[in-house]
Structure 1
Amino acid sequence: MKSTGLLAPDGQTPLREAVFRAGGSGFGGQMRDWHPPSKSVDAALLPVMKQANARTDDVIRNNGIAANGIQIHKDHIIGSEFRLSYKPNWLLLGIRPDKGFVREVEAIFRDIAEDPNCLIDAEGRRTFTMMMREAVETHASAGEIMAKPEWIGRRNSPFATCIRMVAPRKVNNPNYAMDKPDLRGGMDINRYGAAEAFYIEEGADNFGVAKTWRRIPKYTRTGRLGFLHVFEPSEGGQCRGVNRFMSSLEQLKMLDTLQNTTLQRAVVNAMYAASIESELGSEQAMEFLFGANQQDGSIERMLMAYGEYYSSNEVKFNGVKLPHLMPGDKINLHSAGNADNGFSALEQSIIRYIAAGIGVDYAQLSKNYAQMSYSTLRAAHNDSWRYFMGRRKIIANRFASQIFTLIFEEMLIRRYITLPSKARFGFYDRRHAWTKSDWIGSGRLAIDGLKEVKEAVLRIEAGLSTYEKELALLGEDYQETFEQQVAEMEERKAKGLPPPSWMKLQALAPDNPNENPNE
């Protein structure tokens, strides 16, 4: 008799073949009917991208939790101003750092970027910071950022370079044609998988207006960017981005339904305090309501009899009215009951799932900070801060740097700036070396400002950090801060005021030996 050996819990699969249970039928055969197709991101996304993004737009417009998720991205990644910190690659360029040149470039860019007339925007509606906030919102809701550089001569603008934001839904195949190896997601794709051109759908969304498609090359003949497209791919060959809400979209929709249903139930329960129950049979009731002769007025006589009886019955006990009911009637008292009925716990569970899906903290998303200690809050915010900094570096900084490169090129053309002499390379030889930059956005949220200031000072004194890094965490530019400090000290001296007292941090705020570090 042949031995079969040990079997898996399903009684059929040999145990030696079930080492990677994810590829088997699972414990007890739970995954026996689970056969998802093996597809690339493009193959899975492109056929449903339009519908999925439309559903995301719907929940963001109509669901408070989703709208707050978008607002969190804009506030924590960009903030109230997105400022340039210009850092050319001096070593590669072969020249000494020139702080005067850096400050000049930053001043010129900031002037055009934050002009209240929105000269950097082709539509004239956005400053640079507003543009960046919109870009982050679009990336969160659509998975990608798209924009078209334009050259518009304006009398009131010193620059002709303008940026026109493009909604990702407007980029698709001409005439809505099916995807092909060299035409996918509204892009011409070369044999290496790189996008060579983009097709923008033009024309109003109203009915009766003919749609046309405009082909925009990725680069112009001079190497200048002709179309900006920023997203974070998750595998090779991917040409369009996946929005952050895709994994939790179903939960967002069901949460909306659950909240509305629970609210309706609470309202209905609170509307009626009591009702009178009559022994009048169903057949008699239907006869009175539907089958009775309307001309003889039987329905009216019945209702008037009930009304006259209850209006004239005013039996009271200790000042409290006790109605004496008609024969066969009785009173049913209704209470609102437990309107929650486990709803809060279920809602919290769903919101935690959504928060994990979009990469933010549950407390930030729900605005519920109850029963959270200092250490818990800081751990949660530090975890989401890493996510925001990743988004800022990979998405926001890249998009902002591309815009800065376009403006920097026009600065050179119009001779607003002159490149330092003796540089090893010119601008067109090393574009990135000349336009390399960091960007300062919103600062990190301080849970306990005093503790975090002490921590920052200790890091600087121990040589583990710099004023530039610490002030960037606060959303400030260290050069502007130092200049302002010098100006204030000189002004105090000129007015006969004593110099500021630079006291030691420990003397200013001594440590409390009884302080619990976990609170």
Structure 2
Amino acid sequence: MNNQLLAPDGVTSLREEVARQNMVFRGAGAGFGGQLMDWNPQLQSVDAALLPVLPRAQARADDVIRNNGIAANAIQLHQDHIIGSEYRLSYKPNWHLLGIKPDSGFVRDVEAVFRDIAEDPNCYIDAERKRTFTMMMRESVAMHASSGDVMAKPEMFNDVHSPFSTCIRLVSPKCVTNPNHKMSTEYLKGGIELNRRGQEIAIHIEQGGHQFGVGRKWRRVNKRLANGRIGFIHVFEPTEAGQTRGVNKFLSSLEQLKMLDTLQNTTLQQAIVAAMYAASIESELGTEEAMEFLAGTSRGGSNIAPLDKMLAGYGDYYAKPENNIKLGGVKVPHLLPNDKFNIRTPGNMGAGFADLEKSILRYVAAGTGLDYAQLSKNYSQMSYSTIRASMNDSHRYFMGGRKIIANPFANQIFELLFEEMLIRKYVTLPKGARYSFQQRRHAWTRCDWIGSGRMAIDGLKEVKEAVLLIESGLSTYEEEAAKLGKDYQELFAQQVREVDERKKSGLPPPSYMKTEQFSPAEQGQTDG
């Protein structure tokens, strides 16, 4: 008798199967028992996998964002946590490279001029005159999350009401396509024209017709003009070499989002049907009677349909006082022969729905880089520690999005406006610099941006943490104020003004000015 253990195929010995699997990476093998035998995906680059289905992917993402509350909340979270209510410039020229000492007056002038045009309610910074700079940044973050790309075209036109000619026109990534929708080639992919090094040199924008099917035209826009000025802004986060278009945040979980909609709608319909009917009466019919009802004819030649006759008979019978059916009155009715009285209850119709919904939402949250509690708006059964851990994790993700997507887009807009500031003499470069603006554009326009602050779970604990970090030399007022979405320079300036006003009004100084010379321990040592 052979007691040898066999592999799942029933033929190969278990020992041989394990030895064979250990000879290769198991993920690339057939799997234990051949479970992975039919899993043979094609080896493709991101462009090869994405570009052929890009229009469909964008259309599906747009549809789910418009019609799914979870997807809409994911976009809103990106806007609120990466940008916030105002995206503020923190100008930091590379003084060391430029070979001059820091000039705080020059920095304040640049920030003041930029903020004036950026947040002007007349929206002069926007070519369509619809958006302030902050609104433009919020839309760009939403654009990146929903389509994978941020695109904009700088323009210049004179407006007697605007102090600047430079303005920005946001471009929908759906409009950037190959001319006449030709197949992608080595030097033209997804509307992006490349040189032999793989660098973007021009963008092809489809105008007036990509949506309505009328008069299609394409405009070719150079990525950078001959004088070095930016001609088109395209920001995305590539995941491999040679990639030309970005992947939107929803593609990895788009199927689950759509199925979640179907699941919720089906469950809701079942609940509505169950609530509409509290009870029903079932009746048995013979074959001939059933066929008569289906055909709608009567053997006696009567013009009255059999179904009408039956319903009339039911009505006459149950209309009698002695046969009156009461569901809430606990009366037991006397039914017609072969009739059954059924009480309709929801039962366990929704059993498991909540757990399945949570599982899908966690999957979607992981795919979009968000925290489950934030995405679902469900903070139940969470302690301070778990909320703080999840918020810190999502804050790290949002800060990455700010650094990789929002800041590069904002930096290029600032570079365009800074150049016009110099031309119009709004500001003058400090003397003695080693390089001119044209020679070192980035050195003169290097900056950081202050957006939404980190969410405070326990304000008192986090303020104490910030104070200890500053006092121990592990952080600065600039860093801690930025976590709150504030500019430390404006904060200090406002404190000085408040102290002066309190002195003039005869009020004591603010509590943060009342510092003791010695701590209690030091006082004890001095007294001793």
Fold conserved between structures, TM > 0.5: yes
8 Å CA contact 2:145, 2:249 repeated in 1: yes
Question: Tell me, what secondary structure is at the counterpart of 1:47?
Answer: helix
Mapping for residues 442-481 of structure 1, pairs under 5 Å? 442-481=452-491
Report the CA distance between 1:298 and its aligned residue. Answer: 5.1
The 8 Å contact of residues 17 and 32 in structure 2, kept in 1 or not, is answered as no
**3-state SS of 1:162 partner:** strand
2:85 match: secondary structure:
coil
Match of 1:291 in 2: 297
TM-score normalised by the chain length of structure 1? 0.92
Aligned to 2:43: 38
* Alpha-carbon contact 1:315-1:321 (below 8 Å) kept: no
Q: Taking structure 1 as reference, are residues 294 and 365 closer, same or farther at Cα in structure 2, changes over 3 Å only?
A: farther
| Distance (whole Å) between structure 2 residues aligned to residue 262 and residue 378 of structure 1 | 34
Q: Secondary structure at the match of 1:260?
A: helix
Alignment of 1:132 with 2:134, yes or no, is no
| CA distance in structure 2 between the aligned counterparts of 1:384 and 1:254, rounded to whole angstroms | 25
| CA RMSD, Structure 1 to Structure 2 (Å) | 2.2
Task: Tell me which residue corresponds to 1:411.
Answer: 421
Moved more, 314-323 or 439-448: 314-323
8 Å CA contact 2:149–2:234 kept in 1: the answer is: yes
Measured in 1, the distance between the counterparts of 2:210 and 2:177 equals 15
Partner of 1:221 in structure 2?
226
Deviation at 1:277? Answer: 1.5
* Corresponding letter in the other structure for 2:127: A
Matched, 1:147 2:155: no
Seen in structure 2, the aligned counterparts of structure 1 residues 249 and 296 have a Cα distance that, compared at 3 Å, is: closer
- Report matched runs for 1:165-314 at 5 Å: 165-205=170-210, 207=212, 209-288=214-293, 290-292=296-298, 293=301, 295-296=303-304, 299-314=307-322
Question: For residues 77 and 14 of structure 2, what CA distance do their matches in structure 1 show?
Answer: 47
Cα distance in 1, alignment partners of residues 304 and 441 from structure 2:
95
Counterpart secondary structure, 1:215? strand
Identity level (%): 65
- What secondary structure sits across from 1:502 in the alignment? helix
1:121 match: secondary structure: coil
Unaligned runs of 5+ in 2: 1-6, 517-528
SS where residue 93 of structure 2 aligns?
A: coil
What do the CA deviations read for 1:18-64 (whole angstroms, capped 9, x no partner)? 24212211222211221111111111111111111111111111111
1:231–1:241 Cα contact (<8 Å) kept: yes
Q: What is the CA–CA distance in structure 2 between the aligned matches of 1:244 and 1:298, rounded to whole Å?
A: 60
Rounded to whole Å, the distance in 1 between the matches of 2:399 and 2:335 is: 71
1:79-121 per-residue CA deviation (whole Å, 9 max, x = no partner) reads 0000000000000011111111001100100010011111100
**Per-residue displacement from partner, 1:402-460 (whole Å, max 9, x unpaired)?**
00000000001111110000011110000000000000000000111111111111101
Letter of the structure 1 residue corresponding to residue 442 of structure 2: H
Give yes or no for the alignment of 1:367 onto 2:353: no
1:511 is matched with: none
Residue 148 of structure 2 contacts residue 236 of structure 2 at CA under 8 Å; is this kept in 1? Answer: yes
Between the two proteins, the alignment pairs up a number of residues equal to 501
Is 1:346 the counterpart of 2:353? The answer is: no
Contact 1:146–1:167, Cα closer than 8 Å, also in 2 = yes
Write the distance in 1 (CA, Å) between the matches of 2:489 and 2:255.
47
In 1, the alpha carbon distance for the partners of 2:359 and 2:36 equals 25
CA positional deviation for 1:282: 4.9
Instruction: Work out whether residues 195 and 201 of structure 2, in 8 Å CA contact, stay in contact via their aligned partners in 1.
Output: yes
Q: Which amino acid aligns with 2:348?
A: N
Amino acid at match of 1:265: Q
- Give the match's secondary structure for 2:431: coil
Report if the CA contact (8 A) 1:313-1:323 is conserved: no
The answer to whether the 8 A contact 1:9-1:28 is kept is no
Match of 1:334 among 341, 344, 351: 344
Pick one of 423, 427, 434 that aligns with 1:424: 434
Aligned-pair CA distance for 1:504: 8.7
Which of 48, 58, 69 pairs up with 1:64?
A: 69
Closer, same or farther: CA 369–208 of 1 in aligned 2, 3 Å: closer
Correspondence 1:90-101 to 2 at 5 A: 90-101=95-106
Out of 309-318 and 167-176, give the one that drifted further. Answer: 309-318
Following the alignment from structure 1 to structure 2, what is the Cα–Cα distance between the partners of residues 286 and 16? Answer: 63
Q: CA deviation at 1:492?
A: 1.1
Question: 1:116–1:127: 8 Å Cα contact kept in structure 2?
Answer: yes
Q: CA deviation at 1:281?
A: 2.8
Deviations 1:287-320, CA, capped at 9 Å, x for gaps: 1451224515654443222112212234689965
1:230 maps to a residue whose letter is V
Alpha carbons of 1:208 and 1:341: their partners in 2 closer, same or farther (altered >3 Å)? Answer: closer
Who is 2:87 aligned against?
82
Counterparts of 1:18-33 in structure 2, within 5 Å, are 18-33=23-38
Given that 1:355 and 1:361 are in contact with CA atoms closer than 8 Å, whether structure 2 keeps it comes out as yes
Give the aligned residue type for 1:76: H
Tell me the amino acid that sits aligned with residue 44 of structure 1: A
Distance in 2 separating the partners of 1:302 and 1:268: 25
CA distance in 2, matches of 1:8, 1:195: 57
Give the conservation status (yes or no) of the 8 Å contact 1:10–1:28.
Answer: no
Q: Deviations over 1:296-347 (max 9, x none)?
A: 5654443222112212234689965443222332211111112421011111
- Asked whether the 8 Å contact 1:161–1:406 carries over to 2, the reply is yes
Task: Check conservation: 2:192, 2:200, Cα contact below 8 A.
Answer: yes
Aligned to 1:15: 20
Query: Structure 2 length normalisation: TM-score?
Result: 0.91
**Contact 1:76 / 1:388 at 8 angstroms: preserved in 2?**
yes
Alignment map for 1:39-54 (pairs within 5 Å): 39-54=44-59
Distance 2:261 2:29 in 1: 36
- Render the CA deviation track for 1:188-219: whole Å, top value 9, x for unaligned: 11110001100000014564621000000001
Q: In structure 2, the residue corresponding to 1:46 is in which secondary structure?
A: helix
Give the counterpart letter for 1:416 in structure 2.
Answer: Y
CA gap 1:314/1:472 in 2 versus in 1, 3 angstroms: farther
- Structure 1 position 68, deviation (Å): 0.6
Cα drift, residue 502 of structure 1: 2.4
CA distance in 2, matches of 1:503, 1:255: 56
Residues 8 and 24 of structure 1: is their aligned pair in 2 closer, same or farther, counting only changes over 3 Å?
A: farther
Shift of 1:12: 6.0
Structure 1 position 357 matched with structure 2 position 367: yes
Structure 2 Cα separation of the partners of residues 231 and 326 of structure 1: 73
Amino acid at match of 2:71: A
Conservation of the 8 A alpha-carbon contact between 2:90 and 2:447: yes
Q: Which stretch shifts more, 11-20 or 125-134?
A: 11-20
User: In the TM superposition, what is the alpha-carbon distance from 1:271 to its structure 2 partner?
Assistant: 1.3
